[in-house]
Amino acid sequence: MTRYSAWSVIKNGFSGQKNWGRAWRDPEPKSGYDIVIVGGGLHGLATAYYLAKNHGLKKIAVVEKGWLGGGNGGRNTTIVRSNYMMPGNRFFYEHSLKLWEQLSHELNYNVMFSQRAHISLLHSPAARDAAARRYNTMRLTGTDAEIWDLETLKREVPHLNYQNARFPIIGAAVQKRAGTARHDAVAWGYARAADQLGVDILQNCEVTGVRRENGKVISLQTSRGDITAGKVGFAVAGNTSRLWQMAELGKLPIESHKLQAFVSEPLKPLLDQVVVFGVGGAHFYISQSDKGGMVFGGDLDWYKSYAQRGNLPLVQDVCEAATSILPCLGRVRLLRHWAGVMDMSMDGSPFICKTPLENLYLNAGWNYGGFKASPASGWYFADLIANDRPDPVVEGFNLQRFANGVNIDERGAGPDPKLHG
Ligand SMILES: Cc1cc2nc3c(=O)[nH]c(=O)nc-3n(C[C@H](O)[C@H](O)[C@H](O)COP(=O)(O)OP(=O)(O)OC[C@H]3O[C@@H](n4cnc5c(N)ncnc54)[C@H](O)[C@@H]3O)c2cc1C
């Protein structure tokens, strides 16, 4: 496999770019593996990579029903941040951000991580007080965080609606190390690096059934034949309940909801940061891609389905939020919009945990926020599968927390679209 470097770019330039090797193999499924990860999204691929890299494990496969990154991994608005307060999230997301900072080097693949600052607009003194508490906690626990007054915000982001906004802007809570990355490059980077460590990546391989015996999974039925597995990890995001039912495990505290993303026609440089607007039922976030398109999104769609496309009422809702906060977008044309199927948990927090079956492990419940989590999610899920116990950082990410009353996220918003404002 070619190692990407300035030298390999120059060398391949001389041969008309014709000699690049394929990025990862396309193997036939073997009859069995020690570990099978179901789901070739970011979390599944990252898990396979860290199982091989951090734990030296072999005979690992990732089975993906479609193509890599065809799920939420390649559909999100790519915001990466670690601005959480409560211990359950604080250390997990900060670890993830630190992994992001080294990811392109780690994978020898440019994931285009751009630390351009995440700016949450503040609209009332009460909101500023709450943000100050959260951002001070972040500073005290080793993360960068700032509160900007209105003058600073106007200087840094001049195009916002400062004149006649329905909810006047009074300042912002800012994390400068936060930013965006190129989502499909993350999938390809993890796939390539995992493949180099011997992981079989099996695309067009849908799991259609789970065979169990004596409280263990013994094999997976797939569209490319049966595969026996020593250990199995589910990392299928919006399809988690379906897989859970195949394993005959009953109900999960997860609902599948659609979330849309939008891209405008390319514009000249307009916005150099990620800006988030959430007040009075509005929920809106926006950044500008390297190609110039404005990339933005808002709430979940108001009704559920497994279709990866959204509905017009939400398009109107999001465009209203866009023009209310950035009126200069009023005459910009929308280029594309699409949806992903989100795994919304009932308290808005994820699962990285064991299950009632001895050798089955669960990675799910990422809601809106699983892109930024993907490196740490893969890191800690691999650790759980390898050592059969959770690291203390993710100890609370289990299914028992609803019975034990453990609160991981300060808001605990769950699957209700309007609670995520
Ligand atoms: C529009 C949108 C915007 C978002 N914006 C952000 C953001 O700005 N920041 C952020 O942090 N997060 C964001 N997210 C959330 C984030 O994208 C997800 O939480 C995260 O990608 C989920 O993990 P994943 O990549 O592994 O999921 P996926 O990419 O969905 O991976 C799951 C994979 O499992 C496969 N699969 C399902 N069933 C089977 C089966 N039976 N057999 C085999 N394979 C199967 C699917 O095909 C899929 O490829 C957003 C999501 C969406 C949809």
Tens of pLDDT, residue by residue over 255-288, are 999 999 999 999 999 999 999 998 877 789 999 9
Q: What span, in angstroms and rounded, lies between the C-alpha atoms of 132 and 275?
A: 18
CA-to-CA separations, 207 to 38, 61, 180, 247, 371, in angstroms, rounded: 8, 13, 32, 11, 23
Ligand 1: residue whose CA is nearest its atom 19: 370
Ligand 1: residue whose CA is nearest its atom 53: 340
Mean pLDDT confidence for 124-145: 95
Q: What pLDDT is recorded for position 173?
A: 98
Establish whether residue 77 lines the binding site of ligand 1, counting it when its CB lies within 6 angstroms of any ligand atom: yes
Establish whether residue 66 lines the binding site of ligand 1, counting it when its CB lies within 6 angstroms of any ligand atom: yes
Determine phi and psi for 280, rounding to 5 degrees: 55, 40
Q: What pLDDT is recorded for position 281?
A: 73
Q: Which atom of ligand 1 is nearest to the CA of 260?
A: 1
pTM: 0.96
Mean pLDDT of the chain: 94
Establish whether residue 365 lines the binding site of ligand 1, counting it when its CB lies within 6 angstroms of any ligand atom: no
How do 200-202 and 216-222 pair as beta strands? unpaired
Ligand 1: residue whose CA is nearest its atom 52: 76
Q: How close is the Cα of 41 to the center of ligand 1, in Å?
A: 6
Scanning 1-145, the segments in alpha helix (DSSP H) are 6-14, 42-55, 87-107, 125-140
Helices 42-55 and 183-196 pack at an angle, to 10 degrees, of 30
Mean pLDDT confidence for 320-339: 95
Phi-psi region of 70 (alpha: psi -120 to 50; beta: other; left: phi over 0): alpha
Establish whether residue 70 lines the binding site of ligand 1, counting it when its CB lies within 6 angstroms of any ligand atom: yes
Ligand 1: residue whose CA is nearest its atom 41: 207
